[in-house]
Amino acid sequence: MNDHKLTVVLLFGGRSGEHEVSLNSAWSIYKAIDRSRYNVETIGINKQGQWFWGVIPDQILKTGFPTTSEGLQVTLVIDPTQPHFLAINGQSLPNDGKFDLVFPVLHGTYGEDGTLQGLLEMANVPYVGSGVLGSSLGMDKDRMKAVFIERNLPSARYVTLLRSEFLREPETYLNMIEAQLGYPCFVKPANLGSSVGISKAHDRTELQESLKTAAIFDRKIVIEESITGHEIEVSVLGNDSPIASIPGEVLPAQEFYTYEAKYSNIGSSLLIPAALEDDLVQKLQLMAVQAFQAVEASGLSRVDFFVNDENEIFLNEINTLPGFTEISMYPKLWEATGIPYSELIDRLIILGMERFQDKQNCKISQND
């Protein structure tokens, strides 16, 4: 980047079940971003999907979003020649709402699943993180696993069913899951992160209840065999030439790493670095990069594994917009690898700008 001080729009909140996680991640970034290099503007999205200019994540956590009459609602003007934000009430915005890059911190649906990325692509806006394809594949656990299998990346056995199928023939699908996977097994909404809606079923009664819970959050449900072993996570950073952090191990207080364990940190702990042999560390780092490339991710991702007592590796999933709170594994792994939190934010912004410029060069070539 040149000496121009970039204006970064920190975008957070959103309509997903991970709304509060997003606010916490955004607050951490807001405090740590280098103000000597970046002008920071904030836009918070409430649970109804309305965008508010100038709201601060910490204040939203304390008092909630303003009403539409109190807050300054804005919209993104889809003008590829001059993208900018516009106040709905006509009020002027700093620099006429112009900016250099959007830093999305929206976990889950309508933020991490490719929908927001499509909007930003239509407006010709630079942004941090994966594009439409990488985001959508990273969000949909069913399609993600299909891509991993295509790349011969070892994963746990799983089955997928639609909510409508289960509600129509519950006994049929309970029998199928028992026959193909057995107990215990994990039941997950296909398109949510942060362990929202995830249950571990040990018998038929729990399985039925777990499927009902997952069906609240998504029309598609993924059921996976349970792998006994260590929960290992690796952070990945980059675009075309990504690098992997040292691995860390999750030591959950509960039977698995639940939403509460991730964000309240009560009883759970992170072992960084994970106590693994060097050759196993290298295999995990290589596989993390391969998973990142398989879904065509960019910018950042956290890749989650299980490692059993025989040191067999099972790729669990990739998260293309992982939690960015002060206790989140993604930044903590990079800190332990040698990239402090503030520098990590800087690198992600640079990667976002580089990816945008690379795509612009392709467009120029197409027009020649």
pLDDT in tens, 149-201: 999 999 999 999 999 999 999 999 999 999 999 999 999 999 875 567 899 99
Write out the residue limits of the CATH 3.40.50.20 domain(s) in the chain.
6-127
Please give the model's pTM, rounded to 2 decimal places. Answer: 0.91
Q: Is 194 assigned to a binding site?
A: yes
Is residue 316 marked as binding? yes
> What b/e readout covers 295-329, taking b as 16+ CB neighbours within 10 angstroms?
bbbbbbbbbbbbbeeeeebbbbbbbbbbbbbeebb
Fold of 157-225: Dna Ligase; domain 1 (3.30.1490)
**Where in the sequence of the chain do the CATH 3.30.1490.20 domains occur?**
157-225
- pLDDT tens digit string along 40-85? 999 999 999 999 999 999 999 999 999 999 999 999 999 999 999 9
Q: CA geometry: angle at 28 spanning 10 and 325, to 5°?
A: 110
Q: Are 131 and 298 in contact (CB under 8 A)?
A: yes
What are the residue numbers of the active site? 18, 194, 328
229 among annotated binding-site residues = yes
Spell 102-121 as b/e; 16+ CB within 10 A means b. bbbbbbbbebbbbbbbebbb
pLDDT at 253 over 90: no
| H or E stretch covering 354 | helix 341-367
CATH 3.40.30.10 correct for 230-358: no
- Residue spans in the chain of domains classed CATH 3.30.470.20: 230-358
Task: Report domain 6-127's class.
Answer: alpha beta
Residue 3 has pLDDT above 80, yes or no: no
Query: Annotated binding residue at 55?
Result: no
